[in-house]
């Protein structure tokens, strides 16, 4: 939205806005059913008073081009458009509503939207703060990467071969011995899940996962028609899985290191137990290990390191350590699985950015990456100390939490179930963005995933102050309500 009304036009601001909106509708940019941006947002983007926007919208409503839906917003009107403009257009709204892929849940859509605004304090973001990204070093490294014509062409189905060889060496350090042919380069861990959903499971397959889980907040499996079932890892796990699985195909998705959102780490014994239970039932394990490098203490070996059955698909990424903008991750698995996923990736996007792959190869093959990650852990430790001090001083009466063992998150539990969507919106209204627990476990109204990785120290302090204030109000309301 680059357009703004002119101050010295012979038309009033309102007239200009009416004409502009009308033209967006007439040109087919705003088709029937399009929700137009909120008045406040429009006013700020067009640099006019909110009342001017409001009057313009009223005028278009009177013309029948726009219509209000109570509690939802202003939309391009359905009934009158064809008549007014005398043309037909596809029923996009119906196309969207009847199509296959699930939309993001509304809270996540709002998070995605508001993360773009600079004046919002992001207390939930699963992303490194700009000051934690090695911007200068990345820029320098662009001059060191080899960039021959082969690199900038389409890559082979499995991805850049040099990068896969380097990854073999890199993964050996954590006890995973593999070959380049057993690695597929993907555009981040989420794409790996998407490929697994489409390439290894039939409709109605069961995806077992922990509760809560990052997996609940994304839809690669649900949109492909899989059933999501959360299970507890306890001594009855094998019976539970067996009874739920019946004769269906299934996989077990887990994040054994620095679990997202809880931050929990499996012990070696827990990893072995899960491996053996799933092995006995022939259930493949998807081990999401994107936070591996960010454990403050030495990590224990991944489940994949004791896999001798080709049972574990192991996912890694540089998004949490080096730069999410590179969009580079990897999957390690048996040859035939990797070939299958590569075949679908070729049909999906013909491979990941060769430039990004070359940058990652350069970082992993020099000491750049390890030096950076070691510095990064140190920075995250300082951040977590800062946040835990505030929590200790200000939140003990209303919430509890475990000391962070690494990564980005504290799984903050409020004593009362106050974290509902109204709570999320109340904070958003104060320009504080949180990741509420209910996006990771539908019925969870106790938790938020507090991230100390993104916001600046000042923002963290200010954001936590607002969080505390709103929480207190919500708790008091809760108590009043229950009286």
Residues in 203-242 that interact with a copy of itself by CB under 8 A: 203, 218-220, 223-225
Q: How far is the CB of 111 from a copy of itself (least distance, A)?
A: 10
Write down the H helix ranges in 9-101: 13-26, 39-46, 50-62, 81-85, 92-98
Q: How far is the CB of 468 from a copy of itself (least distance, A)?
A: 28
Asked whether 211 and 229 are in contact (CB, 8 A), the reply is no
Binding region for a copy of itself (CB under 8 A) out of 98-106, 289-297, 376-384, 467-475 = 98-106
Cβ closer to a copy of itself: 3 or 375? 3
How do strand 227-230 and strand 206-209 relate by DSSP bridges?
parallel
Binding region for a copy of itself (CB under 8 A) out of 47-55, 265-273, 309-317, 390-398 = 309-317
Binding region for a copy of itself (CB under 8 A) out of 4-12, 129-137, 371-379, 438-446 = 129-137
Cβ closer to a copy of itself: 51 or 371? 371
256: helix, strand or coil:
coil
Cβ closer to a copy of itself: 118 or 297? 118
173 binds a copy of itself (CB under 8 A): no
How do strand 329-332 and strand 312-317 relate by DSSP bridges?
antiparallel
Which of 139, 173, 246, 247: binder of a copy of itself (CB under 8 A)?
Answer: 139
Spell out the residues 6+ positions from residue 310 whose beta carbon is closer than 8 angstroms to its own.
Answer: 333, 334, 337
Chain Cα centroid distance, residue 358: 24
- The two tokens of residue 360 are 């990652």
CB contact burial 223-255 (16+ within 10 A = b; e otherwise): bbebeeeeeebeeebeebbeeebeeebbbbbbb
Please compute Rg for the chain using Cα positions. 25
Which of 9, 11, 28, 392: binder of a copy of itself (CB under 8 A)?
Answer: 28
Give how many residues touch a copy of itself by CB under 8 A: 119
Chain Cα centroid distance, residue 140: 29
Q: How far is the CB of 151 from a copy of itself (least distance, A)?
A: 6
What is the pattern of x (binds a copy of itself, CB under 8 A) and - over residues 153-172?
xxxxx-------x--x----
Q: How far is the CB of 415 from a copy of itself (least distance, A)?
A: 33
Q: How far is the CB of 342 from a copy of itself (least distance, A)?
A: 9
7 binds a copy of itself (CB under 8 A): no
CA dist 397 and 201 (Å) reads 46
CA dist 142 and 147 (Å) reads 9
Asked whether 414 and 88 are in contact (CB, 8 A), the reply is no
Cβ closer to a copy of itself: 344 or 419? 344
445: helix, strand or coil:
coil
Contacting a copy of itself within 312-351 (CB under 8 A) = 319, 323-327, 334-337, 340, 343-344, 346-351
142 binds a copy of itself (CB under 8 A): yes
Cβ closer to a copy of itself: 142 or 422? 142
Spell out the residues 6+ positions from residue 120 whose beta carbon is closer than 8 angstroms to its own.
Answer: 114, 428, 431, 432, 433
What is the pattern of x (binds a copy of itself, CB under 8 A) and - over residues 254-293?
-------------------------xx-xxx---------
Q: Which of 107, 197, 116 is nearest to 440 (CA)?
A: 107
Scanning the structure block, which residue is given the tokens 């009308």?
Answer: 22
């Amino acid at each position: 939205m680059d357009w703004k009304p002119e101050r010295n036009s012979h038309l009033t601001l309102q007239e200009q806005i009416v004409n502009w909106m009308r033209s967006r509708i007439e040109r087919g940019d705003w088709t029937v059913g399009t929700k137009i941006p909120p008045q406040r947002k429009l006013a700020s983007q067009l640099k006019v008073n909110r009342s001017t926007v409001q009057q313009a919208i009223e005028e278009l409503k009177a013309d029948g081009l726009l219509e209000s839906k109570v509690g939802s917003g202003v939309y391009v009107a359905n009934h009158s458009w064809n008549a007014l403009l005398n043309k037909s257009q596809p029923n996009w709204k119906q196309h969207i509503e009847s199509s296959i892929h699930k939309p993001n849940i509304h809270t996540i859509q709002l998070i995605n939207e508001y993360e773009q605004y600079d004046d919002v304090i992001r207390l939930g973001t699963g992303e490194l703060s700009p000051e934690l990204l090695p911007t200068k070093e990345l820029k320098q490294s662009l001059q060191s990467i080899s960039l021959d014509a082969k690199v900038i062409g389409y890559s082979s189905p499995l991805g850049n071969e040099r990068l896969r060889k380097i990854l073999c060496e890199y993964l050996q350090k954590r006890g995973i011995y593999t070959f380049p042919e057993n690695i597929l380069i993907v555009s981040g861990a989420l794409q790996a899940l998407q490929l697994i959903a489409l390439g290894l499971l039939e409709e109605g397959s069961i995806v077992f996962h922990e509760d809560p889980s990052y997996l609940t907040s994304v839809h690669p499996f649900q949109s492909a028609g899989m059933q999501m079932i959360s299970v507890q890892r306890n001594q009855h796990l094998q019976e539970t899985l067996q009874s739920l699985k019946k004769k269906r195909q299934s996989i077990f998705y887990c994040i054994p290191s620095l679990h997202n959102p809880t931050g929990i780490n499996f012990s070696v014994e827990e990893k072995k137990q899960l491996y053996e239970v799933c092995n006995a039932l022939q259930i493949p394990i998807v081990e999401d290990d994107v936070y591996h490098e960010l454990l403050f203490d030495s990590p224990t070996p991944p489940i994949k390191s004791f896999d001798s059955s080709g049972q574990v698909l192991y996912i890694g990424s540089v998004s949490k350590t080096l730069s999410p903008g590179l969009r580079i991750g990897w999957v390690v698995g048996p040859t035939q699985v990797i070939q299958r996923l590569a075949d679908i990736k070729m049909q999906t996007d013909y491979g990941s950015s060769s430039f990004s792959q070359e940058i990652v190869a350069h970082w992993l093959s020099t000491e750049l990456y390890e030096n950076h990650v070691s510095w990064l852990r140190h920075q995250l430790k300082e951040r977590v100390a800062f946040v835990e001090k505030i929590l200790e001083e200000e939140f003990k009466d209303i919430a509890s939490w475990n000391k962070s063992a690494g990564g980005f998150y504290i799984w903050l539990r409020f004593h009362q179930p106050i974290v509902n969507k109204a709570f999320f919106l109340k904070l958003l209204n104060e320009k504080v963005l949180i990741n509420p627990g209910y996006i990771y476990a539908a019925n969870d109204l106790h938790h938020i995933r507090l991230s100390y990785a993104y916001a600046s120290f000042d923002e963290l302090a200010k954001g936590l102050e607002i969080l505390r204030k709103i929480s207190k109000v919500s708790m008091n309301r809760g108590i009043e309500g229950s009286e």
